């Protein structure tokens, strides 16, 4: 008689293919290990000396960047616990536009130090309680650590205080030039009466290959990387603009018909009615005072002939997002039908010119008044990857202004505020009775990750610099001392505010809260139940073989 092995308990509970990881299997520790992998990945990309990563996404596109938001966007993360950290990082990107790397690294470090406490025998619930107490204390302490405030949002030097450190962390060495461009473009679009109404989407970036970064400049208005369709390329005086979301062409019928022509005269007259109709539409547009037509789709050859005859500039804008932006620049209403616009529907533009920048023909819509609705930064560079990286740095710099409109307070940068928080929260932990003291002290220890990485990526010795940094912060007036990545000072520590390196208060506050929340959520998970992925087995696609005479 054969021996019958007992079936696994609850084998019939779920469909075949389910995976279940419980706390008995060490689910919490395994989740922490997975989160540590992703935080290790972006850890070395923090700060001005952060390393780049090469990422090849599922479409085979290559990204070379040290921007955490771009990395996470292109990495196809499937682990559910790691996804919680990624979501917290994405929330930081949406709210503040910067600090995504800090959220991911800090949350990863909180989980890393929690693993030591679990090994010591503490329960995840006790660690979570300690973390929440410490987080509350950290946010209270943060309020008292502000060293400067930006009051005048219409001053270039004040805006640079915030923009420069953000861009330096992505494009170290070019931060002075780039922060000047960003500050100039922001001031062009900043509403003077209500700066808090600043819209991030008002600053656009156009990348044109060639020349060097120093050839980049700001244009008050919009730049389209294409030239007008007809022979009219430039308009130097203020002109009325009409925007159509439909193609500027004769309507095509859905049905087909057969036409019988008896003689040559009928053949000549056949298309005259259509021509007269197009002529009438263009004449109506011309008579309404419009000199610029922007079509959302194509422009027919016949329509283009009549538009040229009336000296109307025609531009095709295939992107509906660009169409929306050009409506905002000109103050026009997008029309879904052809015909003359009413005075309220038509917009106006001061100057339209066609230029050649680095071999590319571009059309520039420029507003000459003080504040424009859109400003464009034309970025020049040698390679596509380099241009993409500069664009990300500019986007972060512009997003920092959005955070500044919410709260103008600034904290000392370069790891100074983190070193101060280590000192203050450790003191708070010493006064807390019971087991929570261990969790609070480890929470404080997690902040060390920022100055430590800054020191290591700058090529300094962390065992020498960090003790000196803590020694400065244990003194009364040591708040503004941070890591000297340039190595100008002999001990690797210097007064950061003298260099103008600040962290935005609102961004740091939101980042600490988001990272703590994500870490506590991961710690509170004691079981993962995963269904089988839909769509059958996930077989990696094999590349198709080439031609018969090509080498495999």
Cβ atoms 383, 325 nearer than 8 A:
no
**Residue 225 and residue 200 share a domain:** no
**Residue 166 and residue 105 share a domain:** no
**Residue 359 and residue 231 share a domain:** yes
Structural tokens at position 298: 């194509």
What CATH number is attached to the domain comprising 450? Answer: 1.10.560.10
Residue 302 lies in a domain: yes
Q: How many domains would you assign to the chain?
A: 3
- Calpha distance 108→106 (Å, rounded): 5
pLDDT score of 1: 47
Residue 168 lies in a domain: yes
Last residue in a domain, options 407, 430, 458: 407
pLDDT score of 444: 86
**Residue 521 and residue 428 share a domain:** yes
**Residue 30 and residue 127 share a domain:** yes
**Residue 430 and residue 418 share a domain:** yes
The single-letter DSSP state of residue 11 is: T
Residue 11 lies in a domain: no
Q: Residue 442's domain spans which residues? A: 18-148+412-531
* CA quadruple 125, 127, 132, 136: dihedral, nearest 10: 160
**Residue 186 and residue 79 share a domain:** no
Residue 549 lies in a domain: no
**Residue 144 and residue 158 share a domain:** no
Residue 308 lies in a domain: yes
**Residue 307 and residue 214 share a domain:** no
**Residue 391 and residue 304 share a domain:** no
pLDDT score of 552: 47
| Angle of the 124-143 helix axis to the 436-446 helix axis, nearest 10 | 60
Residue 10 lies in a domain: no
Q: pTM surpassing 0.75?
A: yes
Residue 506 lies in a domain: yes
- Calpha distance 37→40 (Å, rounded): 5
Cβ atoms 122, 523 nearer than 8 A:
no
- Calpha distance 165→178 (Å, rounded): 11
Structural tokens at position 76: 């196809």
pLDDT score of 25: 57
pLDDT score of 131: 86
What CATH number is attached to the domain comprising 279? Answer: 3.50.7.10
Cβ atoms 355, 233 nearer than 8 A:
no
Q: What sign results for the dihedral spanned by CA atoms 46, 49, 51, 57?
A: positive
**Residue 233 and residue 130 share a domain:** no
Structural tokens at position 507: 């961004």
From first to last of its 552 residues, the chain has per-residue pLDDT tens of: 455 544 455 556 666 666 666 655 567 778 888 888 888 888 888 877 778 788 887 777 887 877 777 777 777 777 878 888 888 888 888 877 777 888 888 888 888 888 888 888 788 888 888 888 888 888 888 888 878 777 777 777 778 878 888 888 777 777 788 888 888 888 888 877 777 777 777 788 888 887 788 888 888 878 887 777 777 777 777 778 888 887 776 666 566 777 777 777 777 776 677 777 777 787 887 887 788 888 877 777 777 777 778 888 888 887 778 788 888 777 778 788 777 778 777 777 878 888 877 777 888 888 777 667 788 888 888 888 788 888 888 888 888 888 788 777 888 877 788 888 888 888 888 887 777 888 888 888 888 888 888 888 777 777 888 887 878 777 777 777 777 777 666 677 777 777 777 888 888 888 888 888 888 888 887 776 766 666 655 555 555 555 555 554
pLDDT score of 17: 62
pLDDT score of 19: 66
**Residue 190 and residue 161 share a domain:** yes
């Amino acid at each position: 008689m054969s021996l019958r092995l007992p079936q696994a308990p609850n084998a019939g509970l779920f469909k075949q293919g389910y995976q279940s990881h419980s706390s008995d299997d060490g689910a919490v520790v395994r989740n922490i290990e997975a989160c540590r992998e992703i935080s290790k990945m972006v850890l070395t990309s923090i700060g001005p000396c952060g390393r780049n990563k090469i990422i090849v996404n599922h479409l085979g596109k290559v990204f070379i960047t040290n921007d955490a938001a771009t990395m996470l966007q292109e990495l196809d993360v499937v682990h559910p616990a790691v996804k919680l950290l990624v979501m917290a990082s994405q929330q930081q990107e949406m709210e503040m536009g910067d600090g995504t790397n800090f959220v991911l690294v800090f949350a990863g470090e909180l989980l890393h130090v929690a693993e030591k406490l679990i090994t010591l025998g503490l329960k995840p619930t006790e660690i979570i309680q300690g973390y929440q107490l410490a987080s509350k204390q950290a946010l209270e302490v943060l309020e008292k650590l502000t060293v400067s405030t930006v009051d005048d949002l219409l001053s270039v030097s004040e805006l640079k205080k915030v923009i420069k450190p953000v861009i330096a962390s992505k494009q170290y060495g070019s931060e002075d030039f780039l922060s000047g461009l960003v500050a100039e473009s922001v001031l062009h679009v900043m509403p003077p009466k209500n700066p808090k109404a600043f819209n991030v989407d008002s600053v656009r970036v156009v990348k044109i290959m060639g020349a060097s970064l120093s050839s980049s400049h700001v244009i008050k208005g919009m730049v389209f990387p294409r030239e007008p369709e007809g022979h009219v390329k430039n308009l130097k005086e203020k002109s009325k603009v009409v925007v159509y979301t439909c193609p500027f062409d004769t309507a095509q019928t859905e049905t087909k018909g057969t036409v019988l022509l008896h003689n040559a005269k009928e053949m000549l007259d056949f298309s005259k009615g259509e021509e007269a109709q197009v002529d009438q539409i263009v004449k109506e547009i011309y008579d309404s005072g419009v000199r610029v037509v922007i079509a959302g789709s194509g422009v027919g050859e016949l329509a283009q002939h009549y538009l040229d005859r009336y000296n109307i500039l025609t531009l095709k804008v295939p992107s509906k997002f660009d169409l929306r932006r050009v409506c905002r620049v000109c103050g026009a209403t997008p029309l879904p039908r052809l015909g003359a616009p009413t005075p309220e529907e038509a917009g106006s533009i001061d100057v339209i010119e066609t230029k050649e920048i680095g071999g590319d023909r571009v059309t520039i819509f420029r507003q000459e008044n003080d504040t424009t609705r859109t400003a464009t930064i034309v970025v020049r560079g040698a390679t596509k990857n380099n241009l993409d990286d500069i664009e990300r740095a500019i986007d972060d710099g512009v997003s920092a202004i959005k955070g500044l409109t919410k709260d103008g307070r600034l904290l000392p940068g370069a790891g100074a505020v983190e070193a101060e928080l280590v000192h203050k929260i450790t003191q708070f932990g010493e006064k807390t009775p019971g087991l929570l003291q261990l969790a609070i002290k480890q929470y404080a220890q997690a902040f060390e990750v920022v100055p430590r990485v800054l020191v290591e990526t700058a090529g300094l010795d962390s065992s020498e610099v960090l003790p000196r940094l803590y020694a400065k912060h244990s003194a009364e007036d040591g708040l503004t001392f941070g890591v000297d990545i340039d190595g100008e000072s002999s001990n690797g520590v210097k007064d950061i505010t003298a260099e103008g390196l600040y962290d935005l208060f609102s961004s740091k506050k939101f980042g600490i809260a988001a990272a703590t929340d994500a870490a506590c959520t991961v710690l509170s998970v004691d079981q993962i139940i995963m269904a089988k992925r839909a769509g059958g087995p996930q077989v990696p696609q094999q590349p198709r073989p080439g031609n018969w005479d090509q080498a495999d």
